[in-house]
Structure 1
């Protein structure tokens, strides 16, 4: 469902992503982790078709982006949802109007009922008539996630989705990610909070300075470092070993 092979992205004289390869199957949840400037967001934007790769091949939701033209990118938009860390909303629309818009352009059957369920789940039901500019940072994040979920994309790319969320909101988000994966979606969640996402991820994608430092099954990483008390400790041991 998602394959990234030798991805490189060059911005003028800065190599932001350097030869990154990994693949995820339907039902997999990949945790994309690494320090600031590791190339995580650039990788996700390439996978989302928002920026072209300098080199390498990408296949996302059965869409080959290696030589993708407008038709391929349009088809990708039907099958993928990308939620950036600061999701752009329409300032002139209310919460309800955002979901109405998404429901119509994606031709979602019974979209109003699905919208109501999503708003209730993410505790936004009482904000249905609120304008986007009146929402808190966390509420804007929840609304963007509701919009992404509404049309049931095959691939979900979530870049720092827990930013601004309170603990109940984080719990509901992580529960919903597991539910989406169980239904067959392929998901990448980028986060600095490995301790928060370690219980939902099936795979880890670790990047440093634009390079892939580790990719593999979460259980495999735990097995390689049996002395680690948590996945976070195993991550630090792995990156320290690979940096030598």
Structure 2
């Protein structure tokens, strides 16, 4: 029951129904508590923290991660610890706390080294891959680069690695990584390459319905628009994005 409610929370989040996502997550927590399953309860709290990162509410994300550790610290696998440390790093990045972010990334990488020795539960496995490690930490560096562009290259390197590691079956996450990579390239003063990555993301997104992706593409378009005269790929992305939006709205 908890696992199914957690899936419902993810689906609601993906379609932009954030209030419903929160309700499903609370149902998942209640089901985990009723079953006495502390581990899946902590996993659900970590997923809620990830949702808070999407909503750019880092303080709430950190509070949730602290709660997950208090509840199930003795039950967390190294993979669980790595994933939660990645989310913690991203929260610190959104707050501009570079030192805390670096410490959290170090913790994530240390935990990940030992993760293969203690397998995670099936419902957690997708969150403890090497691709996810590079994806989340790369996205954290993107947010840090919003304040200091010197962090852009690390973001570019990590997100490029995440995309290389992504399996074809996780197309949605691959597109999210491509969008993050394009944003890192903008901050690294490489608008032409950002435009080319954005175009690949648009192509790879075909057939995936997701309000979350829509919102991320809108953010990327806003960041690329000031560079539209610097490279033809940027203008091409903006034009293709507008076509996609028009087709989606039936205009």
TM-score tier after normalising by the smaller chain length: 0.3 to 0.5
Normalization by structure 2: what TM-score?
0.35
User: Which of the pair is proportionally richer in helix?
Assistant: 2
**Larger RCO (CA under 8 A, 6+ residues apart):** 1
